[in-house]
Amino acid sequence: MRESSPGPWGIWATLGFSVIIVAAFLLVQVLVSSALVAIELRRNPSLDVQTYGQALASNGLLLALATIGGMLTTVALVGLSVHLRKDMGIRQYLHLHPVASTTLVRWLGIMLALALLWDAVTYLFGRSVIPDFMLAAYQSSGFTPLFWLAMVVAAPLAEEVFFRGFLFEGICHTRLGVSGAVLLTSLAWALVHVQYDSYEISTVFVLGLILAVARLRTNSLYTTIAMHALVNFLATSEVAMYLQHAPASAWNA
């Protein structure tokens, strides 16, 4: 029986591992992009690679494949990083603790209410509830079940394990403390969503704060994974419903 735990990695080790994890995630995106370009070139040798490459920025198939591949890479590298920290299991490190069903339902209800409220505010501001990026990605997803899997399962799992799990724990045990961990992980998470405009990024930041609070209040990463999955499910559902009722020309926009 262990008498004590060394605690999580310090801030510099946490940041070092984080750089490696992010670099690996980006590498997956580059590899998937290169593969899609190569496949398209075989089908169409006269392809304008530069124009096609620009179109890939909002390509749903690329997004789905890169997200799923990135999730597998991120979870594996986070698991390895935690494993290298001897005498601290991954459940303890990432706070993978069971959460009562009533507690989980309550937090999911809070997230649902906030998501609907934010949609209402967005509409009152005269903005489209559906980001242009999501609309373009869904239209170009090719195989929509794969896109749903990436958005509702893979993305929440990878991002929560990394941001509210590994990175949060590393910052939390520094001088920055819990408040610093909440703010910095929420900010970092928001800034990686470069596909959105400033208003949408601010939305992601606020969502990150809510997820961080839920992680602290329930002491479980399972809560934030479920809440994140709910938000992505709602967002993807809005796109699907819009396109279902939109004129046929919307699919060719």
- Within-domain flag for 5: no
Please give the torsion angle defined by the CA atoms of residues 191, 32, 16 and 149, in that order, rounded to the nearest 10 degrees.
Answer: 60
List pLDDT tens digits, range 141-192: 989 999 999 999 999 999 999 999 999 999 998 999 999 999 999 999 999 9
- Within-domain flag for 164: yes
Q: How far apart are CA 108 and CA 160, in angstroms?
A: 15
- Within-domain flag for 2: no
Packed helices 60-83 and 11-43: angle between N→C axes, nearest 10 degrees: 150
Q: Please give the DSSP secondary-structure letter assigned to residue 87.
A: T
- Within-domain flag for 1: no
pLDDT reported for residue 101: 96
List pLDDT tens digits, range 95-116: 999 999 999 999 999 999 999 9
State both tokens at 130: 């559906």
- Within-domain flag for 6: no
pLDDT reported for residue 246: 66
pTM: 0.91
Domain count, the chain: 1
- Within-domain flag for 3: no
- Within-domain flag for 148: yes
Question: Which domain covers residue 21, as residue numbers?
Answer: 11-252
User: Could you tell me which residue, 86 or 76, shows the higher pLDDT?
Assistant: 76
Long-range contacts of range 75-84, CB-CB < 8 Å, 24 or more positions apart?
Answer: 75/157, 75/158, 75/161, 77/17, 77/20, 77/21, 77/24, 78/21, 78/161, 78/162, 78/165, 78/166, 81/9, 81/17, 81/21, 81/166, 82/166
- Within-domain flag for 223: yes
pLDDT reported for residue 52: 73
